[in-house]
Structure 1
Amino acid sequence: MSALRKTLLLHPAAKPVLFALCLLPLAWLVYAAIADQLGANPAEALIRRTGDWTLRGLCLTLAITPLRQWTGLHALARLRRMLGLFTFFYGCLHFTCYSWLDQGFELDVIARDIAKRPFILVGFSAWLLMVPLAATSFNRAIKALGPQRWQALHRAVYGTALLALLHFFWMRAAKHNFAEWSVYAAVLGVLLGWRAWRAWAPSGRRPARAA
């Protein structure tokens, strides 16, 4: 079974299939908007759902390395870049929906809103942290920066995940609804906790392969 999974992950169709799967949330949102299935407040639904998919994308991207270690399916690594770029894509959609549907692309209004509301500032900061990660996600950038500096830069994804989680927490706090947030917090807690253990565990207790 493990050999079959590895073969499927290495198959030339693996990336096109993942690409199509990552576009499904966008396809559903476009269909729902056209079919008037986004509820009483379509603008709010689009803003929130694109934000949800950004947070889910962060969870999936951060899950790749632990899954590689736990399952031995190291071919999973070839899917991480695409997941990361789609996470940034949905983050851009989230920010665009907010800027357009909530603020009418009024730059001065957007700037004041970011400065005035902490949860917007935190979300905007999370998006800003993703910009250099997406811009340097290609092989040419790795060669230009060098592997060590590139890895140091891309550790900013941990800060992005925590800021996104805080952004989601503050958004839910207005309605005292933390059930969904608790799921994301638990998932990210496991993923980031595992990385912290890898970084600080005594060398004799670490698994053989580095994260």
Structure 2
Amino acid sequence: MVTELINRATRRIPTWSVYVIGLLPIPWLIYMAQTGGLGREPIKGLEHELGELALQLLIAGLCITPLRRYAGLNLIRFRRTLGVLAYSYVSLHLLVWLVLDIGVLSQIGTDILKRPYITIGMAGFVVLTPLAFTSNNWSVRHLGPKWRKLHKLTYLATLLGGLHYVMLAKGLQLEPLLYMSAILMLLALRIRRSPRNQAA
């Protein structure tokens, strides 16, 4: 009963409102960076916050299928919205790193090749890019069954994002490990049991 009421309520929520709400942290983070709210290194702080929000949105997208399968909550219409928002935050995270943090074009290529966590992060961005640009009705219609296969790369992109965060952290920190554990658990829930196992 409660699940059905939630499903009815979410059907009335326009997807554009999710975009608006999802982008609200950006001006706040910029304000915090300018007023010292992100610590002594505001650029690093801004870079971190944008990256973490991107990862949270990717994880939220992974939650949609298990919520429908195990709890009956149907939020599938918001999955593409969450993906596009995640890509927006990843792009801003990358932009802050390129322009405000590094700032030297000749050093960018060296960092990507020599620092494994940056290599992993860039790989995740590359994987996400075609997914973001095909997250529209036109692509769904024209790609047909291939669209679903292409968008399964979301799993790889999220895994790379989690790995990037774990490798970025100095030492074994709890927060990145919790994110990675959540990602692995959500991916494990997608492994369908074979008919033989289901019968057993």
Aligned mates of 1:16, 1:155 — CA distance in 2: 24
Aligned mates of 1:143, 1:115 — CA distance in 2: 38
The secondary structure found in structure 2 opposite 1:195 is: coil
Partner residue, 2:154: 157
**8 Å CA contact retained: 1:29, 1:46:** yes
Q: Deviations over 1:65-113 (max 9, x none)?
A: 1111122222x11111110100000000110010011111x33321121
Cα–Cα, structure 1 residues 166 and 204, in superposed 2: closer, same or farther, change >3 Å? closer
C-alpha displacement of 1:140: 0.9
Aligned residue runs from structure 1 range 183-202, under 5 A: 183-196=178-191, 198=192, 200-202=193-195
Identity, % of aligned positions:
35
Aligned mates of 1:153, 1:186 — CA distance in 2: 24
Aligned mates of 1:188, 1:170 — CA distance in 2: 15
**8 Å CA contact retained: 1:62, 1:191:** yes
Aligned mates of 1:70, 1:35 — CA distance in 2: 44
Aligned residue runs from structure 1 range 166-177, under 5 A: 166-172=163-169, 175-177=170-172
- Which one-letter code corresponds to 2:144 in the other structure? G
**8 Å CA contact retained: 2:57, 2:82:** yes
| Residue segments in structure 2 that go unaligned for 5+ positions in a row | none
| Residue segments in structure 1 that go unaligned for 5+ positions in a row | 207-211
- Which one-letter code corresponds to 1:201 in the other structure? S
Cα–Cα, structure 1 residues 96 and 203, in superposed 2: closer, same or farther, change >3 Å? farther
- Which one-letter code corresponds to 2:90 in the other structure? G
Aligned mates of 2:165, 2:121 — CA distance in 1: 8
C-alpha displacement of 1:163: 1.0
What is the RMSD computed on CA atoms of the aligned residues?
A: 1.7
Partner residue, 1:136: 134
**8 Å CA contact retained: 1:61, 1:83:** yes
Aligned length: 198
- Runs of 4+ residues deviating >4 angstroms: none
**8 Å CA contact retained: 1:8, 1:14:** no
Partner residue, 2:112: 114
The secondary structure found in structure 2 opposite 1:86 is: helix
TM superposition score normalised by structure 1 = 0.87
**8 Å CA contact retained: 2:166, 2:180:** no
- Which one-letter code corresponds to 1:140 in the other structure? W
C-alpha displacement of 1:203: 6.5
Q: Deviations over 1:26-79 (max 9, x none)?
A: 1320221232211100011011111111111110011111111122222x1111
- Which one-letter code corresponds to 1:187 in the other structure? A
**8 Å CA contact retained: 1:130, 1:157:** yes
Partner residue, 2:6: 5
C-alpha displacement of 1:10: 0.6
**8 Å CA contact retained: 2:33, 2:43:** no
